[in-house]
Amino acid sequence: MGDDQIHQAIAILTEAVKAWVSPAVTIVATQGRDPFKVLVSCILSLRTRDLTTAEASARLFALADTPEKMVGLDVPQIEAAIYPVGFYRVKAEQILEISRSLCDLYRGTVPDDLETLLKFKGVGRKTANLVLTLGFGKPGICVDIHVHRICNRWGYVHTRTPEQTEFALREKLPVEYWIIINDLLVTFGQNLCTPLSPHCSTCPLYQFCDRVGVVKSR
């Protein structure tokens, strides 16, 4: 994919994804831009299917939807609410620890800068960027495995890790697409541009895609 083709590709993709369900964290964000809920939902989503994430988030937020309320729970209560998300015991401890830090150090408010968010246990660049973009509407590029895989499959970047992809996109992706690129490519990657045997024959972006690394497609 050439640099000059990205505008048309994003326009086509924006229409195409309307046929599919949005990622769970995005749905949480659209229910009211709440950085804390976005942060917690993103932690829950790691190594977990979207439906499971959505259901676990709803159960947990019914008990506690602010850092102040969350610290009123204990780890077993959080575990019970978020089970069966992946690594639910570890995540329960992380959520409680982060909530305590927010209350003790930030007056119960989620910070809106990347470097501060990265200081919290269990928060990596993907989560921090998602909080900035979906929680605060601030520029950031959230790169998960779908964004990393698809941008390389397109031939738009040539990188080995999601972090490298983030920095490569910061250099070349037009700023107006920074916030939306994650939602678009996660939805696209879950439904059409799958890791194995992607649906190339019905892909609306076929003409733009270099299909790097695609051995077998449908």
Contact 79, 59 (CB under 8 A): no
pLDDT digits (tens, 9 = 90+) for 174-184: 999 999 999 99
- Positive/negative CA dihedral, 50, 56, 62, 67: negative
Q: In whole angstroms, what separates CA 187 from the centre of its chain? A: 10
Query: Is pLDDT above 90 for 33?
Result: no
Q: In whole angstroms, what separates CA 141 from the centre of its chain? A: 10
pLDDT digits (tens, 9 = 90+) for 136-162: 999 999 999 999 999 999 999 999 999
* All domains in the chain, ordered by first residue: 6-22+141-208 (1.10.1670.10), 34-136 (1.10.340.30)
Q: What is the mean pLDDT of residues 108-126?
A: 95
Closest to 77 (Cα-Cα) out of 93, 100, 55, 53: 93
The pLDDT value given to residue 184: 96
Q: How far is CA 178 from CA 110, 145, 185, 211, in A?
A: 21, 16, 12, 23
Closest to 13 (Cα-Cα) out of 25, 1, 30, 28: 1
The pLDDT value given to residue 30: 78
Query: Is pLDDT above 90 for 68?
Result: yes
Contact 209, 155 (CB under 8 A): yes
Q: In whole angstroms, what separates CA 206 from the centre of its chain? A: 25
Q: In whole angstroms, what separates CA 167 from the centre of its chain? A: 16
Answer with the residue of higher pLDDT: 166 or 122.
166
Contact 153, 212 (CB under 8 A): yes
Exposed, middle or buried by CB within 10 Å (0-12, 13-18, 19+), for 171?
exposed
Count CA within 13 A, CB hemisphere, residue 121. Answer: 12
The pLDDT value given to residue 166: 98
Rg (CA), the chain: 18
List, by residue number, the catalytic residues: 126, 144
The pLDDT value given to residue 122: 86
